[in-house]
């Protein structure tokens, strides 16, 4: 289970997030913040825009039906071990989604609430952080896509 430590995600909603995994419907569950009432005040417009852009690109390139890259998520331990995540900064959340999709794992979204954070974000709270994270996330999505295409082309040759 993953969640931000700024209390924008609520640990009390863990059962909602874990339900698709414990019921055998998912291998990775993503908390979707974009449908909750409190999200409008908690997510700045540029973060909503970036999320929608990145999720749209993932839908287009990977065929995965997601709308949010939120940090509140859960995954089976064996899945996490197999994914062998490497990103330690902005890209960890996207890497989990992309590697999970490419490996054929079931990735689902569940609506969760989202609240204004305690403190100021080093990423979405600054122009430099926002642009850096946005560039990194979008380039990671494209890089994994072309890496997959190269691998598929090599296999068919």
For all residues of the chain together, what is the average pLDDT? 86
How much is the average pLDDT of 36-56?
Answer: 77
Q: What mean pLDDT comes out for the span 42-47?
A: 76
Looking at residue 134, its pLDDT comes to: 85
Averaged pLDDT for residues 37-50: 72
pLDDT at 123: 63
DSSP 5: T
Q: From the centroid of its chain, how far is CA 43?
A: 15
Residue 63: φ, ψ to 5°: 70, 20
Of 93, 100, 95, give the one whose Cα is nearest residue 70.
Answer: 93
**Top-confidence residue, 120 or 62:** 62
Beta strand residue intervals within 58-153, DSSP E: 73-75, 107-111
Residue 26 has pLDDT above 90, yes or no: yes
pLDDT given for residue 47 in this prediction: 79
Q: Is the pLDDT of residue 30 over 90?
A: yes
Gyration radius of the chain over CA positions: 16
Q: Give 30's strand partners.
A: 73, 109
Calculate the alpha carbon distances from 142 to 136, 139, 151 in Å: 10, 5, 14
Confidence of residue 94 (pLDDT cuts 50, 70, 90): very high
What count of other Cβ atoms lies within 10 Å of the Cβ of residue 60?
11
The pLDDT score that the predictor gives to residue 126 is 66
Burial of 83 per CB tally in 10 Å (0-12, 13-18, 19+): buried
The structure's pTM equals 0.85
Nearest 10 degrees: CA dihedral of 62, 39, 112, 51?
A: 10
Instruction: Report pLDDT for 110.
Output: 94
C-alpha span between 153 and 139 (Å, rounded):
21
């Amino acid at each position: 289970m993953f969640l931000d430590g700024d209390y924008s995600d609520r640990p009390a909603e863990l059962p909602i997030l874990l339900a698709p995994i414990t019921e055998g419907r998912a291998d990775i569950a993503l908390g979707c913040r974009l449908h909750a009432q409190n999200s409008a005040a908690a997510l700045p417009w540029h973060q909503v825009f970036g999320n929608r852009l990145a999720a749209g690109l993932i839908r287009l390139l990977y065929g995965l039906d997601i709308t949010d890259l939120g940090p509140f998520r859960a995954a089976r331990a064996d899945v996490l071990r197999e994914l062998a995540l490497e990103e330690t900064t902005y890209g960890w959340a996207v890497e989990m989604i992309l590697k999970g999709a490419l490996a054929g794992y079931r990735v689902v979204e569940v609506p969760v609430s989202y609240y204004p954070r305690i403190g100021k974000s080093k990423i979405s709270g600054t122009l430099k952080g926002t642009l850096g994270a946005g560039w990194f996330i979008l380039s990671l999505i494209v890089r994994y896509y072309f890496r997959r295409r190269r691998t598929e082309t090599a296999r068919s040759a």
